[in-house]
Chain A
């Protein structure tokens, strides 16, 4: 199967966003990159099932998401792990993300139930419509909407955010106060 140049472009073009999504799902850069690689292999092996004219990016996200879900279930059976798994894997690799400023945010995100987390990321960060996100997750549009709402509310609780002033410069101030206060 010789690869069409437009397919090559579209697939590679989706990689940065697929990685960001994969990292938010599994909380680990190396595993996320493996997940993206497996997604590309699956996608290209099944490129005939892609319908030209539809959204290539959404198609790839669907493959990645389903692959992650089945892997996750498998691992979960193996490890008998529960909710804390993602959060724990974050704690053990604090430097994998680079930027410290997002650590608190990532940790809060990691504490969300996975269906809420993926809905929030797809709609709030990847830029998919509610309809596209519903297609990717294989659920109703209303379900995605309520997951996104619950995710936002929970995130605000976890970050102790009640108003916009609780963000931004205050975080730096808080860090300074915290380190100076000891």
Chain B
């Protein structure tokens, strides 16, 4: 109890400086999560969308 109180007091005095190792691990997790989506590549609907836009642009050129 007392140790926790001392620690939180300490945290209040010197706010929020994360250790390098913690920052690095947070960064890794963040990128891993993000890359999981990136690695899915381009879903078909987006290729189809661009194709549709292109062919309609060819049909009626402005």
- In the complex, are the beta carbons of B27 and A124 less than 8 A apart? yes
- In the complex, are the beta carbons of B40 and A149 less than 8 A apart? no
- In the complex, are the beta carbons of B40 and A16 less than 8 A apart? yes
Dominant secondary structure of chain A at its interface with chain B? helix
- In the complex, are the beta carbons of A24 and B34 less than 8 A apart? yes
- In the complex, are the beta carbons of A168 and B46 less than 8 A apart? no
B22, B35, B39, B53: the one contacting A3 at CB < 8 Å is: B53
- In the complex, are the beta carbons of B37 and A23 less than 8 A apart? yes
Q: Which of B3-41 contact A (CB under 8 A)?
A: 16, 18-19, 21-27, 29-41
List chain A residues, Cβ under 8 A from B35.
Answer: 20, 125
A156-B22 contact given A1-B57, A2-B61, A37-B45, CB 8 Å threshold: yes
A102-B32 contact given A3-B50, A37-B49, A156-B18, CB 8 Å threshold: yes
Q: How large is the interface on B (under 10, 10 to 19, 20 to 34, 35 or more residues)?
A: 35 or more
Most buried by A among B32, B34, B57, B58: B34
B18, B26, B46: the one contacting A40 at CB < 8 Å is: B46
Interface size, chain A (Cβ < 8 Å): 44
Residue of B with least CB distance to A2: B57
A12-B50 contact given A23-B37, A152-B18, A153-B16, CB 8 Å threshold: yes
- In the complex, are the beta carbons of A99 and B18 less than 8 A apart? no
Q: How far apart are A129's CB and chain B's nearest CB, in angstroms? A: 15
A2, A17, A163: the one contacting B21 at CB < 8 Å is: A163
A161-B33 contact given A2-B61, A11-B50, A19-B40, CB 8 Å threshold: no
- In the complex, are the beta carbons of B38 and A17 less than 8 A apart? yes
Some 26 contacts from A to B, beta carbons below 8 A apart, are A2-B54, A3-B53, A12-B50, A16-B42, A20-B34, A20-B35, A20-B38, A23-B37, A24-B34, A33-B45, A37-B45, A40-B46, A40-B49, A40-B50, A41-B49, A44-B53, A99-B36, A125-B31, A125-B33, A125-B35, A126-B34, A149-B16, A152-B18, A153-B16, A153-B18, A161-B25
A interface with B by C-beta (< 8 Å)? 1-3, 8, 11-12, 15-17, 19-20, 23-24, 33, 36-37, 40-41, 44, 97-99, 102, 105-106, 109, 120-121, 124-126, 149-150, 152-153, 155-156, 159, 161-164, 167-168
